[in-house]
Amino acid sequence: MSSGTEKVEYVSYLDHQGKYKGILGWIFATDHKRIALLYMYSIAAFFFVGVILGLLMKIELAAPGQTIMKPQTYNGIFTVHGVIMIFMVVIPGLSAVFGNFFLPILIGAKDVSFPKLNRFSWWIFIVGSIMAVASQFLRSGPPDTGWTFYAPYSTTTGTSVILATSAAFVLGFSSILTGLNFIVTIHQLRAPGMKFFNMPLFPWALYATAWIQLLATPIVGITLVMLIAERLFGIGFFDPNLGGDPLLYQHLFWIYSHPAVYVMILPAMGVISEIIPTFTQRKIYGYKAIALSSLAIAGVGFLVWGHHMYTSGMSEQARWFFSLLTFVVAVPSAIKVFNWLATMYKGSIDLKPPFLYALSFIFLFIIGGTTGLLLGSVATNIQVHDTAFVVAHFHYIIFGGMGFAFFAAIHYWSPKIYGRMYDFKRANIAWGIIFVGFNMLYFPQFILGFQGMPRRYFDYLPQFQGGQLVSSIGGFILATGLFLMVRNLVLGARKGEIAPANPWNGSTLEWQIPSPPSLENFDEEPVIKQNPYDYE
Amino acid sequence: MANNVSHTTEYRTLGKVLLFLMLCTFLTITVTGIHLGPFSVTVALLIACAKAYTVMTYFMHLKYESLLLKLLVGFVFVLFVLIILITFIDYAFR
């Protein structure tokens, strides 16, 4: 790409020639920035596949009855859409891409603690991803269990469940190794003077996320191994006839998979905490509260998994307990939102594309969060369990939250990553289309869910057609917006104006070095003497 | 921020730890033959915790690490105990 506008001579990480050249220079790279881009390009490719599968579902649901596919195909498509989007896009998304690129820079380090392990994490991510996509094409047919692989159905269906669960198992290793790398990096490689409470808030969020990745992922790993063993050897872990318990699978699965939601959303909150002070030119309000609330979310988030199982046959006492804890976990999330709003109050607000996406994140996350309280309450949960309401809530949190934060992050850091600016007008138009399309796609599903439309159903009663049609149209508007956004970003990265080192007047360390950064990020090791958001 | 001080543990100590771990393994197998009812899982987990503690303290050199690292590992233990306890709120009352 380009060189920045700095007078100091340097070679950017994009132009640096290492031991290998060309594509091998990327595949065998140990530079955290190149590995981050490898993650970004591969995740973007898998996101594209996931979007296509989603659009196929929306076409099928645009009218009642069979439209373009048979029921079993629909089952396979929503399963693989879920597996791809969860395990290959949203879980690694922010931490593997922007965490890898900016964590070392934000803490004043040259790289992560274990660069080769970092490269290995990407390699096994690719292996796991190929396995997941391949499961769609096996002769036995794509897995039809949903991304949750619930027993006992997953132990008996003849579809390719083993390959899909093996893929999730392998992808889990990538997540664990990345988490381990980040924890050690933050403990060992902070710049002189950077104490924990001098760290920017994105590294804080990554730190909390990394602990979840390290501690929770092995649980789903062993659960999936138990499932595979059950299918192959009929051991009986989840079979009551052999002394097992099907609910044990759900407990073990959600002990990981609920904290996994925080693996997706905590880095997103970290991104928003970086963007808001920059585009309001204000010191962030409640720095310590935001930092510690990340740890609180990670900690309490470990203990609320049972709210996914209210209708599964758990004891009354357990349902009461999980409901209580679910309401507790809303507190640290609300702390963040209130502090972001307080930061904006009386700020010099600059409505640039990253900030528009950040504002959208807050709006959509609040809708997703408050509808989550309806699901956390046992009585209302039983009404809307396994309906389109859950689909809407989930997508408001994951796509409206993590997805919009990812878009905010790429618009915020793209000038630093590529050294070139993108077109603001096109970016704003794409943002508007994405925002409208997203709400048209998912909001009707809240209403459909309340009316009784079940999730994962190939067909529906005529009374649901209006909402389904609006939702399907919204899906295509959203896809159009995504296309325009990606096109603008790619054009910007290739042919945009040269970016200055600090185009947003940011205060954190990444804005103190050239765009794009050099191989080792800093000419001299930075010494930290102040709060990262010192705008006064 | 790096702390690269290394420590060496005596072979005698490592041997004792190995002996203790083998004893615990033998104990784990033995208690499966004793009918302890609902406490069988508790006993098995207690023995496993004793083994994990010993491995981390001596083999993984946690003994020589900073208070912060010890606290972090302690937090993981507490989390593990909480997850088990909460799971049993379901199983005990179902």
Residue A86 lies inside a defined structural domain of this protein:
yes
Chosen for mutation from A113, A215, A256, A323 (greatest number of chain B CBs closer than 10 Å) is: A215
- Any CB–CB contact under 8 A between A314 and chain B? yes
Contact state of A188 with B94 under an 8 Å Cβ cutoff: no
- Any CB–CB contact under 8 A between A349 and chain B? no
Total count of residues recorded for chain B: 94
Closest residue of chain A to B78, computed from CA coordinates: A299
| Number of domains within chain A | 1
| Residue-range domain boundaries for chain B | 11-93
| pLDDT tens, residue by residue, B27-86 | 999 998 888 887 888 899 999 999 999 999 999 899 988 999 999 999 999 999 999 999
CA distance B9 to chain A (A): 23
Instruction: Note the pLDDT of residue B2.
Output: 46
- Any CB–CB contact under 8 A between A318 and chain B? yes
Instruction: Note the pLDDT of residue A5.
Output: 45
Helix (H, G, I), strand (E, B), or coil: what is residue A200?
coil
Sign of CA dihedral A17, A20, A26, A32: negative
- Any CB–CB contact under 8 A between A255 and chain B? yes
Residue B1 has pLDDT above 70, yes or no: no
Q: State both tokens at A103.
A: 């964590």
Using only C-alpha atoms, chain A has a radius of gyration, in whole angstroms, of: 23
Residue A404 lies inside a defined structural domain of this protein:
yes
Residue A194 lies inside a defined structural domain of this protein:
yes
Could you tell me the CA-to-CA distances from A11 to A7, A388, A406 in Å, in that order?
12, 52, 28
Which of A192, A302, A318 is opposite residue B89, by nearest beta carbon? A318
Instruction: Note the pLDDT of residue B3.
Output: 52
Instruction: Note the pLDDT of residue A504.
Output: 97
Residue A517 lies inside a defined structural domain of this protein:
no
Which residues on B lie below 8 Å from A190 (Cβ)?
1
Encode A379-431 in three state secondary structure. Answer: HHHHHHCCEHHHHHHHHHHHHHHHHHHHHHHHHHHHHHHHCECCCHHHHHHHH
Instruction: Note the pLDDT of residue A4.
Output: 42
Query: Smallest Cα–Cα separation from A328: which of A351, A311, A312, A304?
Result: A304
Helix (H, G, I), strand (E, B), or coil: what is residue A12?
strand
Residue A536 lies inside a defined structural domain of this protein:
no
Contact state of B90 with A318 under an 8 Å Cβ cutoff: yes
Which residues on B lie below 8 Å from A322 (Cβ)?
86
**Residue A67 one-letter amino acid:** T
Which of A299, A303, A316 is opposite residue B93, by nearest beta carbon? A316
Contact state of A187 with B1 under an 8 Å Cβ cutoff: yes
Residue A10 lies inside a defined structural domain of this protein:
no
Which residues on A lie below 8 Å from B90 (Cβ)?
247, 251, 306, 314-315, 317-318
| pLDDT tens, residue by residue, A368-427 | 999 999 999 999 999 999 999 999 999 999 999 999 999 999 999 999 999 999 999 999
| DSSP H helical ranges for chain B | 11-32, 39-54, 67-93
**CATH number of the domain encompassing residue A466:** 1.20.210.10
Chosen for mutation from A207, A302, A311, A527 (greatest number of chain B CBs closer than 10 Å) is: A302
Closest residue of chain B to A187, computed from CA coordinates: B1
Contact state of A302 with B83 under an 8 Å Cβ cutoff: yes
Q: State both tokens at B69.
A: 């690292």
Contact state of B1 with A189 under an 8 Å Cβ cutoff: yes
Residue A284 lies inside a defined structural domain of this protein:
yes
Residue A462 lies inside a defined structural domain of this protein:
yes
Which residues on A lie below 8 Å from B92 (Cβ)?
315
Phi, psi for residue A486 in degrees, rounded to 5: -65, -45
Q: Within 13 Å, how many C-alpha atoms sit on residue A246's CB side? A: 14
Q: What is the ipTM of this complex?
A: 0.85
Helix (H, G, I), strand (E, B), or coil: what is residue A325?
helix
Domain that holds residue A318: 22-512
- Any CB–CB contact under 8 A between A203 and chain B? no
Instruction: Note the pLDDT of residue A536.
Output: 72
| Under-50 pLDDT residues of chain A | 1-7
